[in-house]
Amino acid sequence: MTQFSRYLGIDYSGAKTADQSLPGLRVYSATHTDEPTEIPPPPSPKKYFTRRGLAEWLLTELREGPPTLVGIDHGFSFPRRYFEVHGIPADWPTFLEDFQQHWPTDERRVYVDSVRHGSMGRGDERMGNSRWRRLTEERCRAKSVFHFDVQGTVAKSTHAGLPWLLYLRRRLGERVHFWPFDGWTPQPGISVFVEVYPALWSRTFPSEARNGHQQDAYSIARWMQERDASGALGTYFETLLSATDRTTAQTEGWILGVV
């Protein structure tokens, strides 16, 4: 028996502002029996999803729909070194609130780079270092969430996406589970958000006519669908980490599928 009825793979984008149409922001949806297909944004003059539009769409879908596993390819938290340097308690909800206050990238006309370079927000009070990496990034050789301006980085999408996780958490409450911050084993019958790294899976599946952003979103949904169908998903939720590493991951987060 599968744990979820729907699987959403999201290739995220930190480009532009929260209200601009982004060709790099793609969503694919699968069910138990249906292969992932692309979800277009709600009807509007915009051709692609905006970050705000995606958050609002997810809010409606998860409030009214069946238990859904949502995989998003940006960091859900920062390395422990960041918490230590800035004196932030090792508590994920506190981190999200603090981050949004300093990096208000969910506000209109705010770019990640406008906060990063000091023209908006208070990003200078909450900077990181590209040498700081989370344990999960070290395990899968992913770049740091602070490694900007290089190919294959998730720094900009992470800094753009974190306030929207806070937005969804505030509004959905106990209807959703943010893994692993809310616990390593989600309760049955609710939707779950997980951080993913599509580079682990995107070459596993033929790309057909999909571009890179579409392929990443497709591969996220397809991998989650297949793992749930095989009964292996619970094994990935219960990642075999030492007690020390599990404590670290409770603060830093973990990428689903990394062992």
Residue 77 lies in a domain: yes
Q: What are phi and psi of 123, to 5 degrees?
A: -60, -25
Are 4 and 221 within 8 A, CB to CB? no
Residue 60 lies in a domain: yes
Tokens of 144: 């740091």
Residue 27 lies in a domain: yes
> In 3D, which of 185, 220, 170, 193 has the Cα closest to residue 77?
193
Provide the 8-state DSSP code for 194: E
What is the pLDDT at residue 72? 98
Q: E strands within the chain? A: 6-11, 26-31, 37-38, 68-72, 176-178, 191-195
What is the pLDDT at residue 228? 97
> In 3D, which of 45, 47, 48 has the Cα closest to residue 27?
48
Look up the domain containing 11 and give its range.
6-252
Query: How far apart are alpha carbons 147 and 142 in whole angstroms?
Result: 10
Mean pLDDT by 10 residues, the chain (259 residues): 95 97 98 96 92 98 95 98 98 98 98 97 97 97 94 93 98 97 95 97 95 98 97 93 95 96
Residue 137 lies in a domain: yes
What is the pLDDT at residue 1? 81
Residue 37 pairs in a beta bridge with: 29
Residue 138 lies in a domain: yes
Residue 258 lies in a domain: no
Residue 259 lies in a domain: no
Residue spans of alpha helices (H) in 65-128: 80-86, 92-102, 112-116
Residue found under tokens 């705010």: 110
Tokens of 166: 């806070």
Query: How far apart are alpha carbons 15 and 157 in whole angstroms?
Result: 7
Split into its structural domains, the chain has a count of: 1
Query: How far apart are alpha carbons 65 and 38 in whole angstroms?
Result: 18
Residue 257 lies in a domain: no
Gyration radius of the chain over CA positions = 17
Helix (H, G, I), strand (E, B) or coil at 191: strand
Are 67 and 3 within 8 A, CB to CB? yes
